[in-house]
Amino acid sequence: MTVVFWLAYGMLGVGALLTLVRLGMGPSLLDRVVATDTLLVIIAAGLAVHAGLQRDPTVVPVLVVVSLLAFVGSVSVARYIGGMLLRSAGDGQDVGLPEAAEERAARSLEADR
Amino acid sequence: MSVMEALPDVLAVALLLLGTLLCLTAGLGLLRFPDVLTRMHAGTKPQVLGVLLIMVGAAIRLQGWSATWMLLLVAAFQMLTAPVSAHMISRVAYRRRHVRRDRLLVDELHTGGEMRDSVYRGDEPADAPPEEPGRALVESRREDLDGPPDAGGRQPS
């Protein structure tokens, strides 16, 4: 059982750590939104794994709240950035999004050529 | 402990470990993939399959109907909300051009290089100020001089 504990929490922890790295690196706000969403899902999974391994049903209501929170957070941020936009001329720097790493990479590729 | 007693525990632990493995792959994919859409593809793996596996495993281990119903609620809720949030994020990513177009095989939303801000109309209040104040002023002055426009004329939008 100890092996199972280490394996489960180790995989969850490494996964959460990697999403935290993506959350810090960015490069765009949407990447951070996706990373936050995934991080909350991993936290919910960790709570469920704890509940399952310890046979401890007290954390199960917390699970419902966390999964609700992930949905509401990501949708509200997406609405906030996008608004009623159908098509954009800029890449969103006018509303505070950083320059898209994709655009920068494509431009440097063009410059090298 | 007989085999029949150990079997549910083994099954539950296997499901839990599979779910945590999916969480690990989500982190890896999130770190390694090149743009928002592909990162979202990686990040959504534990949202549906991982959560389902972990919920089933935990429900087997917990052995109580109240906990089982609540875990079922969480799983159903994840399956309802994951498509919605993924749709909204990917739509904003496409419109804000955070997508590597050179990696797209099919781009059905491409508008042919028309680079212009385009916002959905019909959401503004009825007494909102006019979109182009100068033209609106000229039109209203002409209406004051010529009388109201004829019935077949253009309705002011």
ipTM of the complex: 0.75
Q: Select from B46, B36, B38, B47 the least CA-distant residue to B92.
A: B36
Q: What is the DSSP letter of A27?
A: S
Contact A106 B100 (CB under 8 A): yes
Residue A12's closest chain B neighbor by CA?
B20
Residue at A56 is within a domain? yes
- A52 neighbors B54 (Cβ within 8 angstroms): yes
The answer to whether the CB of A67 falls within 8 A of the CB of B77 is: yes
B120 vs A1, which has greater pLDDT? A1
Which residues in chain A have their CB less than 8 angstroms from residue B95's CB? 82, 85-88
- Domain membership of residue A112 (yes or no) is no
In a domain, A101, yes or no: no
- The reply to whether A69 touches chain B by the CB within 8 Å rule is no
Beta strands in chain B (DSSP E): 118-119
Classify residue A107: in a domain, yes or no: no
Tell me if A60 and B67 make a contact (CB, 8 A cut-off): yes
Model pTM score? 0.74
Within-domain flag for A71: yes
- What stretches in chain A show pLDDT beneath 50? none
Residue with tokens 């609620």: B73
pLDDT at B120 exceeding the cut of 70: no
* Nearest neighbour of A87 by CB, restricted to B54, B64, B118: B118
Phi, psi for A72 (deg, rounded to 5): -60, -40
Contacts of B21 in chain A (CB under 8 A): 11
Instruction: Mark yes or no for CB contact B70/A28 under 8 Å.
Output: no
For residues A34 and B130, which has the higher predicted lDDT (pLDDT)?
A34
A75 lies in which domain range? 2-87
Q: How far is A111 from chain B (nearest CA, A)?
A: 16
- Spatial contact of A8 and B18, defined as CB atoms under 8 Å apart: no
Residue of B nearest to A107 (CA): B100
And the tokens for A30?
Answer: 């949407």
Q: Which of A38, A49, A53 is closest, CB to CB, to B43?
A: A38
A residues 37-56 lying closer than 8 A (beta carbon) to B: 37-38, 41-42, 44-45, 48-49, 51-53, 55
Q: Per the domain annotation, does A54 fall within a domain? A: yes
Q: Residues B35-70: pLDDT tens digits?
A: 888 888 888 877 889 889 999 999 988 887 888 898
User: How many Cβ contacts (< 8 angstroms) between chains A and B?
Assistant: 225
Q: Is the N-terminal amide bond of B130 cis, ω within 30° of 0?
A: no
Q: State the pLDDT at residue B111.
A: 61
Bridge partners of residue B119, in order along the sequence = A85
| DSSP three-state, residue B119 | strand
The tokens describing A42, both together, are 């991993």
A93 within a domain of the structure (yes/no): no
Nearest-CA residue of chain A relative to B123?
A84
Name the residue among A97, A103, A105 with its Cα closest to residue A31: A97
Report if residue A22 sits inside a domain.
yes
The DSSP element (H or E) to which B60 belongs, if any, is helix B51-62
Q: Is the separation of the CB atoms in B81 and A74 below 8 Å? A: no
Q: What are the residues whose beta carbons fall under 8 Å from the beta carbon of B93, sequence distance 6 or more?
A: A30, B36, B37, B40, B99
Nearest one of B30, B21, B34, B23 to B100, comparing CA atoms: B34
Structural domains in chain A (count): 1
* Nearest CA-CA distance, residue A34 and chain B, Å: 6
pLDDT over 70, % of chain B: 73
- What three-state secondary structure class fits B118? strand
